Amino acid sequence: MAKFYGKVGFLRNEETAPDVYGEILTERLYKGDVIRNQKRYQSSEGLNDDVVLSNNISIVADSYANENVFAIKYVMYKGVPWKVTNVEIQRPRIILTLGGKYNVQEN
């Protein structure tokens, strides 16, 4: 089983000013295991097929991850942000299933 150490991105709506809400992106480092390492190609409208992962990554969750599990949007894996398509809670771990590439919008 391969080891994992990388960033997990949380996207939450928070009040930035009175009655004004905006999306706040928070990245935190986690460690864990890569349970399944699998990729596939998906046909797209473009010239080349899209790469889609079906990896399962099991991270050791802290209190922040447990409280904000609903806000997990992506995982940085091998230098690329990948969408989290499924989250399974198995305390003290959280199992994340990855999908296609995630487009991170930086401010």
Residues 6+ apart with CB under 8 A from 28: 7, 8, 10, 64, 65
Q: Given this model, what pLDDT does residue 44 score?
A: 66
What the chain holds in terms of domains, given with CATH numbers, is 2-101 (2.40.10)
Q: Given this model, what pLDDT does residue 89 score?
A: 96
Residue entry with tokens 């969750």: 61
Q: Say how far apart CA 73 and CA 71 lie, in whole Å.
A: 6
User: What pLDDT, in 10s, does the model give residues 1-53?
Assistant: 799 999 999 999 988 889 999 999 999 999 999 998 776 666 666 666 677 88
Closest CA to 11 of 82, 99, 70: 70
Q: Given this model, what pLDDT does residue 41 score?
A: 67
Q: Say how far apart CA 79 and CA 7 lie, in whole Å.
A: 10
Q: What number is the average pLDDT over the span 69-81?
A: 94
Upper half-sphere CA count for residue 14 (Cβ side, 13 Å):
9
User: What pLDDT, in 10s, does the model give residues 90-106?
Assistant: 999 999 999 989 987 65
